[in-house]
Amino acid sequence: MSRLLVCPPDFFEIEYEINPWMRLSNRVNHERAVLQWHGLMSVVEKDLGVVLERMTPITGLPDLVFTANAGVVVGRTAVVSRFRYPERQREEAHFENWFRGHGYDVVTVEEGLCFEGAGDLLGFPECWFGGYRQRSDIRAFPVLSERFHREIIPLELVDTRFYHLDTCFCPLSGGELLYFQPAFDPYGQIAIAERIPNERRLSVPEDEALRFACNAVCVGKHVVLPAGCPTTERLLQERSYQTHSVPLDEFMKSGGSAKCLTLALD
């Protein structure tokens, strides 16, 4: 049974601008945000049968809701994130405490290196991919690769709108990849093609990519994704995935969607 770490959106707000989606003038409708978050949780818990671990929200940390950036969990080891922006660095201690309190061996990357957790490190059982340039430092990946004995292919993120790897790249349980190719440079596109054959690469159209179609949660043959991405849903259904679309536009005001709101624990 899968477990996901989540954090209720009690204090979710736009309090600063650290990605192209965030606008201080674009206020969050708090009520809607809470409804949308509970809608997502309900699908994940009831339809997907996932166990949710809820963190305690903290006032003044609006983005604590995006637990995908807490770190990355491998077995009983948690690599806690080091955020690029001071606005989110304040979250680090809370994520670390949570992991420690739940019996994880906590690891950090060396000081001075940024690493934003499962937002920038995703993969298949054998081969992982690391997004860099926007948030995480490429130098974090060799360290993690050595620690976990996994190949990590670094991919440069060349479009600031897709500032984390999980905004444009979503590995699926059957070995397919849902992704938005133009978010990568030609070197990255070739590197992806080398690892994932053409027939397993599902290219999301730009309008749906901009609705964060790739910021999806895949558990078994279920994929939870933001509403308004019919082409992506069809691509997934053709591969016999069951799709669950959830309205999450309040969180898109912050540049996050389904995947950003969850962290896979095991």
**Residues designated catalytic:** 164, 260
Helix (H, G, I), strand (E, B) or coil at 43: helix
Question: Alpha helices, DSSP H only, in 109-242?
Answer: 140-148, 186-195, 206-209, 230-238
11 or 124, CB closer to other proteins?
Answer: 124
Q: Is 166 exposed, middle or buried (0-12, 13-18, 19+ CB in 10 A)?
A: buried
Nearest approach in angstroms of CB 196 to other proteins is: 12
Nearest approach in angstroms of CB 184 to other proteins is: 11
Nearest approach in angstroms of CB 266 to other proteins is: 21
Nearest approach in angstroms of CB 146 to other proteins is: 7
Q: Is 25 exposed, middle or buried (0-12, 13-18, 19+ CB in 10 A)?
A: exposed
126 or 238, CB closer to other proteins?
Answer: 126
Question: Alpha helices, DSSP H only, in 25-172?
Answer: 30-42, 86-89, 92-101, 140-148
117 or 188, CB closer to other proteins?
Answer: 188
Residue 245 neighbours by CB distance under 10 Å: 19
CB 169 within 8 A of CB 177: yes
132 or 251, CB closer to other proteins?
Answer: 132
Q: Which residues bind other proteins (CB under 8 A)?
A: 126-127, 132-133, 138-139, 141-142, 145-146, 149-156, 185, 187-188, 190-191, 194-195
